[in-house]
Amino acid sequence: KKLIESAGEQVPLPKPLVTLLDAISSRQSNIIKRAHLITNRNMSFFRRSSDGYRRKPSGWNN
């Protein structure tokens, strides 16, 4: 972004550079969406027993 801003809008950017910047932007967007999906997922090990999920009374190793 800094490279583009320093060049100003008067100089047209080469098509390969535009393609590369679009790919980077798309990848960043996908990473952010994936991170939100993972952090918002209701994972069983974060649930409390009040959620209706209880551990077996005999322990973890059965």
CB atoms inside a 10 Å sphere around CB 36: 10
8-46 confidence digits (pLDDT tens):
667 777 899 889 989 999 999 999 999 888 887 766 555
> What DSSP element (H or E) covers 27?
helix 15-40
How far apart, in whole angstroms, are the C-alpha atoms of residue 31 and residue 37? 10
**This prediction's pTM:** 0.49
Average pLDDT of the chain, as a whole number = 74
Higher-scoring residue by pLDDT: 31, 51 = 31
How many helices, marked H, and strands, marked E, lie in the chain? 2, 0
Q: How high is the pLDDT of residue 38?
A: 83
User: What residue ranges do the domains of the chain occupy?
Assistant: 2-40
Query: What CA dihedral angle connects 7, 11, 17 and 18, to 10 degrees?
Result: 110
How far apart, in whole angstroms, are the C-alpha atoms of residue 37 and residue 50? 24
